[in-house]
Amino acid sequence: MVTVVENQENVNLHCRIGRPTGLCLIQVPGYGQFSLSPNDATQHPGLKYYGEGYERGSCGVTIERVTVENAGNMTCVLLPTGGGGGTLTGSIEIVVAFPPVPPQIEVKSGNLDQVQVDSRLEFECVAARGNPAANISWFLDNEQIYQGVRPIEPEENFDEASGKRYFTAVSTLTHTVRAEDNGKRLTCQAEHLAYPDGVSRTDLVLSVNFQPQALPDQTIYGLQLGRTATASLVIKANPPPTIMWNIDGIDHHQGAENGRYAVPNPEALGNNRYNVTLTIAGLTLEDLSKTYTLRASNSFGVEEYRVMLRSQDEVINESSGVGIGEIVGLVLAVLIVLTAVALILVARATGRWCFRGASLNTDINPDSEAQITPHPHDDEIDEKLQTQDPAAHFVDEGDEKHPATNGKHENGKQTKPQPPTVPSGAAGGKQENGKTESKTNTSV
């Protein structure tokens, strides 16, 4: 099968066998049967022999300009030379493509004049009387639609008057309308090889009606106290909304001025977007604490928006990351720490608090000395010993005198205590209040 476009020029159709032929008969729809040869002119204008010659078993035809009448089966009959057989026949199906009429969109379900958000519309696109059938696609603002698309098997028909066989391509689309669809272009595109540009399109613009669309709570920042403040936000609605501001229970209608408050008419920004404003002359701290509610409505519904005002000073405080509560807490923490440090220093200086007790050095190195803090009564015992034997505190080693150690370790050595020596001139001791006084005269 070969597919050609109507009015296509110089279309070649060829039959061939593996040995020379002595005859080439061609039958083309619209012309009947006729013979062709490389050397003889054909009897039909617009047709001529095509091939490599009889000696190569080649038999073909060139159609200078294809028409719809040429659609059908082209047959060729060849008679091999040398005998030993009859004629050989071959055929080629000619499909003459012609474009369908431009596609048409029809609304099967719904009303385009009263399209609302979340409504369902059903469209049908038809590209009729083409050969072969066209391929249909749907687009919304140049973005191809896949969801809700259902192609239908092409319908085949035959026109007896023209002798044409043609097909009608049909595709349906079921679409749930969204607010953002408003103003967008719905396009049906038919693709066919016989179209001059390969495709043909038709479209329609969707007009979607919807109530003002909801927004999260809005906060207006950076307002300056004492100056005229403007609170504005952008809302979407179709048709245009009517607005009213409620300030602490008092209504302020569109286009009116009431005291320091003014409500201008909504400003159209395009694509169903409207700038809604409230102006306040001489902004005060009290204005910042008020509750502002915007009410926008049209014939398809009502929506309310909550708006809060913030001054420039509040923005600066928030951007610093430290609030009044944090500052007070930080100051109190510093004062507590300073007070605790002062109390500790005073207590150490006056000795009112005990920060260390008796310590015992238990180092067992060879040169270590165990020390125990003496109790008060140990001092009395030591004093009595010194009173009873003053000479016991010195040990003669040659010509030097060293303090006695009473058996204590010094530098890792133990000094053996020497017996006390009492000179003959020693006076007797005198006891007073339970203590003994002794006097010793030592010759030099």
Which CATH class for the 104-206 domain?
Answer: mainly beta
Tell me which residue of 206, 226, 218, 227 sits closest to 275, measured CA to CA: 218
**How much is the pLDDT for 83?**
67
DSSP symbols for 369-415: ---BPPPHHHHHHHHHHHHH-GGGGEEEETTEEEE--TT-EETTEEP
Please compute, for residue 204, the number of CA atoms within 13 A of its CA located in the half-sphere on the CB side: 13
Q: Which helix (H) or strand (E) element contains residue 32?
A: strand 32-35
* 376, two tokens: 């008060």
Domain boundaries, the chain: 2-97, 104-206, 212-311
Q: List the beta bridge partners of residue 26.
A: 34, 76
Domains 104-206 and 212-311 alike in fold: yes
CATH superfamily for 212-311 is: Immunoglobulins (2.60.40.10)
The residue with tokens 């300073």 is 338
The topology (CATH level 3) of 2-97 is Immunoglobulin-like (2.60.40)
| Average confidence (pLDDT) per 10 residues, the chain, 444 residues | 88 90 89 86 86 91 89 89 80 90 93 88 95 95 94 89 85 94 94 94 93 93 92 94 94 93 95 94 93 94 95 59 69 90 84 54 42 45 45 42 42 43 40 40 36
Cα angle for residues 217, 223, 228 (degrees, 5° grid): 115
**How much is the pLDDT for 408?**
41
DSSP 3-state of 33 = strand
**How much is the pLDDT for 358?**
44
